Structure formats: C-alpha cells, structure tokens
Structure 1
Amino acid sequence: MTLPSVSATAGPQSVQQRALPRQSNSPVSKPASVSVSPVPSALTGFHDEKLAAWTNTRSPLIHFKPGTVSTPAISTPDQTPADTEPVSHRTPAQLPDATPQDDPVANRQRQIAQRALAEQRRATERHLQTMTRVLGQACVEIEYGLRSYHQLQGWMSLEMIEKMRFRAQLAQQGRPQESDGQKPMNVRVHRMRLQRTPSQCYESSATIIVGNRLRAMALRFEKHRDRWKVCDFELG
C-alpha cells in the first residue's frame, strides 16, 4: 500500500488530518472470552477441610433484626432484682437507710435512748404496782368503815371516788353492827399483776386477804396531766 504524496506547501493541519487513519464502518469486535481451567479436586477438598476447621473454632455470630437491639440484662451474684431497679421506682422499704447501721455514734445514741425509755417504763410499772397495793387495801378498809373515802382524792378520778362512797354506804347498811374488836384488821394484798394495754394505759389485778377471806380487785390506770389515776375499778 502506497502512502499519498504530500505537497511541500501544505500546512501542518492538513498533514495531521491526512496522517489520521481512516475510520472503518465495520462493527467493533468483542474481546475474546478467557477460559479458566477447573481447580483440581485434591485442592478443593483440602480447602473445604480448612474452612470447616476454622468455622468450628469461631463463636457463633449474633444476628440482629433491622431496627431492634436485644441487650441481655447483666446482674452480679450479689445483686438482687431490687438493686437493679432505678431509685425513682423503688419503694421506701427498698431505699437505703439515710443513717448507716454501722455508724458508732448513731448506734451509741440509739442504745442510750432505748435504755432511757426502758428505765422510764420500769419506773412507771413500779409506781403503778405500789398504787395497786395501796388502793386495794384502802378500798377494802373503806367498805368496812376503817378508813374515809376522802383519802382517795388524788388517787382516783371524781367518778371513781363517788362510786367508792356509794359502795361503802351499801356495805355498812347491809352489815350488822359490830364492835371494834370484831372488825377485820388483817387486810393485805396477797398477789397482783400489771400489764400494759395497746392504748398506752395499764390494767392491774390484785388478790386481797381480809381475815380468812380472799377478795379480788381490778383497776385501770390512765395518765392525766402527767399523773396516773384510777379511771375504773371493780371490787369483788
């Protein structure tokens, strides 16, 4: 194939245009396909064994659904379900104490207050036992005319004093006249019992020996203006 002749007077642009190859109207041929030879069976089996051994040593994967995350609850052996709850959701019984139990100063003050309260209660019970003994003997002597009911003022309420006066009058009217030597002089309290009620009152019972007889008496004490008085009684 011979090249076309180029004149010396032609410009560089015309030379460049003539130097370009002609475009062919034939369709573009596709690249040839590359053929890959198959892997030998011996190498395939070796690869599968290695892959299976590596898969068994790995921990299983956790699959999460789109949009949801499940987080397991973490709790230590020393924690209880109440400890894992928010403080705002706990009841007053589950909240920690404001004063620690192992505080030596608070424990000392608590022990002193408890001992003082117990000593005050024992002193009150001793005082009421003395009142039971004195009033038991005095009420029996009033019925027999050995004592005046006016001596009960300060020990009993006004209603109980009036009740004792009425009992003394009935006892003297129903009893025949006796000389001073025949009146029972041996009056003493043989046994008594005192207990505290839920209403912060005290009830006592006593067994009274009158000569060769036994009589029973029950009293109820209430506190009025820092003083214990009998608000009710029964004498048998």
Structure 2
Amino acid sequence: MTAEKRPFVLYEYLRFFWQRKWWFLVVPLATIVLTVIAGRLLLQGEKYTGKAVVFTGSIDVKELTDPKNIEAKFPDVKNLDVVVPEEQYVQITVKGDDEQDVSRELKLVVSEYSQELKRHSQERIDVTTKYLHALEKRERALQQKVDYYSEQIQSGRLNPEQLHDISDLLVESENNLTEVMERVNRIRGNLVFYEKPAVLSETVAKSKTYTGQLMAVGLVLGLFLTVVWLVLWKYILDARRYYSS
C-alpha cells in the first residue's frame, strides 16, 4: 500500500463538517441542557438570600467585629454567614427557602447587632467625654496656678529664696499644663472625627442560579465535543478506505 497524496486535507475536513453541520446544533444543545441540570443539582441551595452591610465606624473591639463572635450570638438563625470584606465593614448573609423568613431573620440579626454597636459606641463617647471634662477642669486649675505664680514673680515682693521656689513651681505647673492641653486637644480631635456605626444596606433577593455561566460552559463543551467527534469520525472513514483499497 502506498500513501495517497491529499493536498486539500483541511478542505476535506471542512466539507465533512459542513455536511454534518446539524451536529453543531444537537450536541451543544444537549451539553447545555445537561450542564445546566448538573449545575443546578450540584449548586442547589436556598432560594432566597438576604444581605446587609454594617459600617462599624471607629469600633475596633474584636468581640463586636470578629465574624465568629457575631455568628455565635445568633445560634437560632440557620444559614447565617458573617464576613469582613474590608476594615470597618461587616457583611451579614442569611439564606433560606422562604422570603419572609429570610427577611425576618436578617432584620433580627441586623437590628440586634447594630443596637449592640450603637450601645458600645455611646458608652465609649460618654466615657471619653467624662474624661475630657475632668481634663478640662484640671487644665483650668493648672492655668490658675500658672497665673498666680506669674503674678507673684512679677510683684517684686519675693525674697531670693521665695523667688527660686515660686519659679520652680511655675515651671512645673507650665509643664503639667502643656501636657494636659495636648491631651485635651487630642481627645477633642478623637471625638470630632469619631465615626458612629450605621447600617448601610439591607436587601433580600432570589439567590443567584449561575444559569448564564452554566449555559456558556455547556456551549463551549458541546462545540469541543462536536469537533472531536467529527474529526474522529472522518479519521475512521479515511482509515477504512485506505486499508480497504
């Protein structure tokens, strides 16, 4: 047997494909249907998904921002998932087959969690404000001391020993006053720029089915299998003709 020269092999394959072009319709349609069905079975989950995003603000307490700690506070809520997508943000997800149940459970979690954040936030503000008032009171007392010592020194009625003692007291009071003023300004700034927690969004919608993605995968897979099958078919036909000649 001698090998037959076939300069137009590609043309023969394209012609063979064209004569059986209906395979490019049947096989991809079949794989699309099978892929969607298989995907639905494998990815089968709850019908509804409720999501909420909570801004934690300036709160950095692990007990209130760690996902595991948050989930542990709601043992009765099934399919609860809490993640921290980025700093200062907490995403709460609740899934279920009943839209009203999902909405109710999501509102419960978000309400209790946000109230806890607000309560902690207000306590922190109250404690800081109380501390600020105490510092401001001390600042006024130190300022009075500085003014008094300055007047005594400028009066000219002090002997050298008294002048030395009052000068030392003045320096000490001024240093203490400077330190307290810095702390007062820092705390005032913290209060001004303090970010309070808030609920940014809260929605309930049907869960994602990934139908479009599954159909695309089925289409690509179907076209690939069709090409492989037709190439193999053509190869077998050519081989039979070759060995039968």
Whether TM-score is above 0.5 comes out as no
**Range into which the TM-score falls when normalised by the shorter chain:** under 0.3
TM-score norm. by structure 2 comes to 0.27
Higher relative contact order (CA 8 A, sep 6+): 2
Larger Rg: 1
